[in-house]
Amino acid sequence: MSRFKKKSKNLAKDLAMERIQRLFELADAEFSSNPIRSDEYVLLARKIGMRYLVRFPRELKVRFCKSCGSYLVPGGNCRIRLKGRYITITCLKCGNVRRYIYHSVKTSESSSGK
C-alpha cells in the first residue's frame, strides 16, 4: 500500500472517530426531550464505526445496548449495579444484561505488599 493511501486511511478513521463522539454528544443532549432521536444517533454512530473499522472506546461502549441499539442513560432506561468485581448494566427496553470487570481503587497499603 502506498504511503498516500495509508495516510488518507488514517485521516478517514480519525474523522470517523470525531463524528462518532459528536453523535454521542448529540444523543446525550437529546435524550431528555426525544429518546428515539438519541437511539437514531447511536445507530448512525455504529454504522460509521462498522464502515471505517473504528473501535469504540470503553466510555462509549457502555453507553448503548448492543442488543436493541438504544442509548443508555443510568436511571432513565438502564439499571447499573455493582456486584462483587463486576458492573452489571441492564437495558430496561430489551432486558439485555452486560457485565464489565470493576477495578476498585486500591489503597497504598494494599499495593505495598504487607
Torsions phi, psi of 64, nearest 5? -140, 155
Q: What residue ranges do the domains of the chain occupy? A: 3-111
Residues (pLDDT < 70) of the chain are 1-5, 104-114
Helix, strand, coil: what percent of the chain each, to 5? 45, 20, 35
So what's the pLDDT on residue 6? 72
pLDDT (tens digit per residue) in 38-56: 999 999 999 999 999 999 9
So what's the pLDDT on residue 90? 97
So what's the pLDDT on residue 4? 66
Query: 89-113 burial, b for 16+ CB within 10 Å, e for fewer?
Result: bbbeeeeeebeeeeeeeeeeeeeee
So what's the pLDDT on residue 38? 96
This prediction's pTM: 0.81
The CA-based angle 43-89-32, given to 5 degrees, is 55
Q: Which fold has domain 3-111?
A: 1.20.5
So what's the pLDDT on residue 106? 62
Q: Is 28 helix (H, G, I), strand (E, B) or coil?
A: helix
For helices 3-30 and 35-51, what crossing angle results, to 10°? Answer: 170
